[in-house]
Structure 1
Amino acid sequence: MKELLIKGSNPKSIFSQIQSCIDADMREDWGETVLTFNNAIGKGTLRTISFNWGISLIDFDILLNDDTTLIFDNDELSPIEFIFITQGYFNYSENNSGSYTTLEQFQNTIISPKRSSKKTFLFPKSVHLKVNFIRINRKEYLKKKNNNVCYLNDLLVKLFNDKIGDTAYQHGGNFSLRIADEIKLLNSIQDSGMLRSLSIEGRLCLILSLQLLEHKNFEEKMNLPEAISKNDIAKIHKLTTYILNHISEDISITILSTESGLSPKKLQLGFKILFSKTVNEYIRQLKLEISRDYLKNTDLSVSEIVYSIGIKSRSYFSKIFYEAYDILPTDYRKHLRNKKSSLI
């Protein structure tokens, strides 16, 4: 087992120490620090970016060849960490005691160890891990105007106002595909410069708000119904990829039920809970989002686009597109072209 000992909690310092331990390449662009490695240790990418008021992001996309522990030996007040895994799993121990809690895929997790404790992450070998850490330096965040921390539930109010670090906290909450989808959007941002940093910051705040909302619902006993298990959630997540890959086909609930092994009733319940939509509403929204991208980024005719997203009637497509975006598809494309030509 490989062991990495990290001093302090500053993201850039953490990355500098990791770089020296795993022989990674480091680059900095637009305020982001990125480590990449592909060697005997494994392969992957690590990214961090910090914003005002003590909010920072660290994310890992890694595959390791050996079990690896990351031990934080820190005398400072640790940040509150909102953790979400979109692929794989890893283990967590507050005091490097050898007793671990498994942090699972799609589960909303919040940790805040005691001051001077040795927070330890154990990353298993041969597991492709994608994980996001949204970290809040509570002292800095409390200086933020209109932080509204006082409106959180009592547990989090106490945690945010703990300036000494004498209380440990760990929340292993509900499983959420909605948060997973928002993280996908975060990771797909392609802009550069100011547009990129603003997009990341905005998406980060949205994800954090969803994680806080999950915590509120969990504490108020508004959990996922017992009929929706962790395995059911994983199946629905795979189903969203199936829908995307077969968007040009006639996708019925019967087909999705057969593909996932879930009953039609459980499918509808799962989509309603996780996406606040019925299965058909989810598919229709996805078709519209894809069609909008085609109109913007390709020269396909409207008829070709309608065919490619599996809608049989062009008039019906125009109707639902207008209902969703308050503009007809042809007018939307004209608007984009006129806007582009005005910039030339």
Structure 2
Amino acid sequence: MQKIEIHSIDGAEILEQLNLYLEGKLINNWGEHVLEFDNKLGKGVIRTIAFDWGVSLVDYNVNFVQDTSIIFTIKDANPIEFIFISEGKLNYTTSVENKPYTFERYQNVIISTKKFSKETYIFPKTAAVKVNFIYVLSGEYSKKKNNNLSYLSKSLFSAFTEENEKPPYKHYGNYNLRIADQIKQLQESHESGIVRTLSIEGQLNLILAMQILEHNNYENGLALPESLSKDDIKKIHNLSAFIIDNISEPLSVQSLATKAGMSSKKLQLGFRVLYSKSVNEYIRQLKLEISRDYIKNTNDSISEIVYNIGFKSRSYFSKIFFERYGILPTDYRKKIKTQE
């Protein structure tokens, strides 16, 4: 495993220390620092920008060749970290708690460690990871006019205090697509100069507000329309197994939602979170994958296979099979036979 040691929360210094290992290219435009690398260690872009009142962004879009630990050991600060993963996942440990955690895609995470503690983020090998870190230095942010910190929940407000002995804070919240959509807009910003800087700052404030809102609703047992709980995720995983076992049966969105015990809207949201597809798109792809296995591993006729996966029209099946694999089912079977 590759290990990278970081001893700062200043974005520009983080990139400089990362670059000692990654040996990429550092760029600075309009106060935004960017590290690009494409070599034997992996490929990616890491960017950072800092604003007034102790708010800064570090955004990773990386794919490492081997498991890579980025280890933060900060002596003079313990910022509040608002973390959101748009793609992939991260493993996380601290020197205070030996228990490892996995931060999942679309999960809202807010953490603050004790001073002098060590944090380790493990990026899995050969996996694309897009993760957004917003750092907030509580001492500086509390000096901001109209900061309204007193309106935070008691638990999150404690993370904004400047007490040296304050306990570590962690919130591993719900899965939220609205935050993901907002971060996508941030990552795809193409403006330049002052327009870009103002745009990024405004979007960071909006993302912070959305993450705090999710936290507030989580603590009060409320669910935003765009949020999924871990129980919801488990239900959808179980439903995926049910779909495979009943692939030949009529599977409507409503019947599956009833089976899972959730609304159709939440079911669709869950499939988008887990599979980046609607329920019907997921079922159709699954049918095609199963049909391909049948064609390859059985002597069933194409018509029998069409029936076994729950399609009524052979011509429709041939059409979408060709769209998916670039070959007709009959030609695919001939190709398999010639390779035996």
TM superposition shift of 1:273: 10
**Residue 174 of structure 2 contacts residue 230 of structure 2 at CA under 8 Å; is this kept in 1?**
no
Structure 2 equivalent of residue 138 of structure 1: 138
TM superposition shift of 1:267: 3.1
Matching residue's letter, 2:206: L
> How many Å separate the matches in 2 of 1:16 and 1:213?
34
Matching residue's letter, 1:209: A
Structure 1 equivalent of residue 3 of structure 2: 3
Q: Deviations over 1:72-92 (max 9, x none)?
A: 121112110000001000111
Task: Tell me which of 247, 265, 269 is aligned to 1:268.
Answer: 265
The reply on whether 1:93 has 2:90 as its aligned counterpart is: no
**Residue 236 of structure 2 contacts residue 271 of structure 2 at CA under 8 Å; is this kept in 1?**
no
Q: 1:202 to 1:270 in 2, by over 3 A?
A: farther
Structure 1 equivalent of residue 156 of structure 2: 156
For normalisation by structure 1, the TM-score amounts to 0.68
> How many Å separate the matches in 2 of 1:132 and 1:85?
6
Aligned positions of 1:291-306 closer than 5 A: none
Q: 1:187 to 1:232 in 2, by over 3 A?
A: farther
Q: 1:257 to 1:51 in 2, by over 3 A?
A: same
TM superposition shift of 1:101: 0.6
Q: 1:27 to 1:122 in 2, by over 3 A?
A: same
In the comparison of the two structures, how many residue pairs are matched? Answer: 254
* Counterpart secondary structure, 2:232: coil
Q: 1:117 to 1:24 in 2, by over 3 A?
A: same
TM superposition shift of 1:8: 2.3
**Residue 9 of structure 1 contacts residue 76 of structure 1 at CA under 8 Å; is this kept in 2?**
no
Matching residue's letter, 2:232: I
> 5+ unaligned residues in a row in structure 2: which ranges?
240-249, 273-340
Structure 2 equivalent of residue 167 of structure 1: 167
**Residue 63 of structure 1 contacts residue 125 of structure 1 at CA under 8 Å; is this kept in 2?**
yes
Q: Deviations over 1:279-318 (max 9, x none)?
A: xxxxxxxxxxxxxxxxxxxxxxxxxxxxxxxxxxxxxxxx
* Counterpart secondary structure, 1:229: helix
Structure 2 equivalent of residue 319 of structure 1: none
**Residue 109 of structure 1 contacts residue 172 of structure 1 at CA under 8 Å; is this kept in 2?**
yes
* Counterpart secondary structure, 1:28: strand
TM superposition shift of 1:97: 6.8
For normalisation by structure 2, the TM-score amounts to 0.69
Task: Tell me which of 229, 233, 237 is aligned to 2:233.
Answer: 229
> How many Å separate the matches in 2 of 1:226 and 1:40?
37
TM superposition shift of 1:225: 6.7
Structure 1 equivalent of residue 296 of structure 2: none
Larger Rg: 2
* Counterpart secondary structure, 1:228: helix
> How many Å separate the matches in 2 of 1:50 and 1:93?
26
Aligned positions of 1:144-293 closer than 5 A: 144-164=144-164, 166-223=166-223, 224=228, 228-229=232-233, 232=236, 257=253, 266-270=263-267
The reply on whether 1:76 has 2:76 as its aligned counterpart is: yes
> 5+ unaligned residues in a row in structure 1: which ranges?
236-253, 276-344
Percent pairwise identity: 39
CA-atom RMSD, angstroms? Answer: 2.8
Q: 1:160 to 1:262 in 2, by over 3 A?
A: same
Q: 1:226 to 1:98 in 2, by over 3 A?
A: closer
Matching residue's letter, 1:178: R
Q: 1:4 to 1:150 in 2, by over 3 A?
A: same
* Counterpart secondary structure, 2:13: helix
**Residue 75 of structure 2 contacts residue 116 of structure 2 at CA under 8 Å; is this kept in 1?**
yes
> How many Å separate the matches in 2 of 1:15 and 1:86?
21
> How many Å separate the matches in 2 of 1:274 and 1:3?
35
TM superposition shift of 1:182: 0.5
Q: Deviations over 1:128-160 (max 9, x none)?
A: 100000110111101100000011000111110
Q: 1:227 to 1:96 in 2, by over 3 A?
A: closer
Q: Deviations over 1:18-71 (max 9, x none)?
A: 111110100011111000101111000000000110100111000001111111
> How many Å separate the matches in 1 of 2:64 and 2:195?
33
